[in-house]
Structure 1
């Protein structure tokens, strides 16, 4: 009588990646969501303005720029869908923190510029 096989090796289907980042790792979703939010806040308005300026005149591009707010539909859509909700939560956190940092630094720069200009 032979002893039962105690090796419990999980069989991977052929073609399935064995790397942890391909299996929806929670840290991966959090990091990619956060940095996607940072990129979304910084790059989307700039890219939208560049495209508008390349296609339209300056006056028309300035009038159409507020339509960049329609870009907020993407994070809202991702929050609604259950499968992408974790990613979207961290994306919104990244967007909010980036916006706060940009506004905080801009306000400090304006404050110091006004202070040194008055003296």
Structure 2
């Protein structure tokens, strides 16, 4: 006979006891952060300001790097922040690596 858990109890078990939830959610949150935040920032700026102003304000997206720093600084979110930064770094390595390989293939 199997014990039936309520949906709330099953959710609590998954978030508290399962060892893979934090690494996976942190990694994919970091990956999505690198892709979505600059695109969303540019879209909002483009909707609100003229083109030359958008080009001047876009470097402010670097302020978003405060999010992973804040996650790493707090003891409670440090493990999630570590995997968040790992997801960001892996995304950057893949993007720059593929870009370099494509540039190398086009030049040779």
Q: TM-score, normalised by structure 1?
A: 0.78
Matched residue, 1:3? none
**Structure with a larger share of its residues in helix:** 2
- Spell out the pairing of 1:7-46 with structure 2 (5 A cutoff): 17-19=9-11, 20-23=13-16, 25-46=18-39
CA RMSD of aligned residues (A): 2.0
Max radius of gyration: which structure? 1
Query: What is the deviation of 1:80?
Result: 0.6
Query: What is the deviation of 1:112?
Result: 2.2
Question: Secondary structure of 1:97's match?
Answer: helix
Matched residue, 1:105? 98
Query: What is the deviation of 1:108?
Result: 1.6
Query: What is the deviation of 1:106?
Result: 1.1
Cα deviation 1:60-99 (Å, max 9, x = unaligned)? 0010000000000011001011010000000000000100
Cα distance, 1:90–1:114 mapped onto 2, change above 3 Å: same
Cα distance, 1:24–1:89 mapped onto 2, change above 3 Å: farther
Gaps of 5+ in 2: 1-6
Question: Secondary structure of 2:9's match?
Answer: coil
Q: TM-score, normalised by structure 2?
A: 0.85
Gaps of 5+ in 1: 1-14
Aligned residues: 103
Point out the more displaced range, 105-114 or 78-87: 105-114
Cα distance, 1:81–1:24 mapped onto 2, change above 3 Å: farther
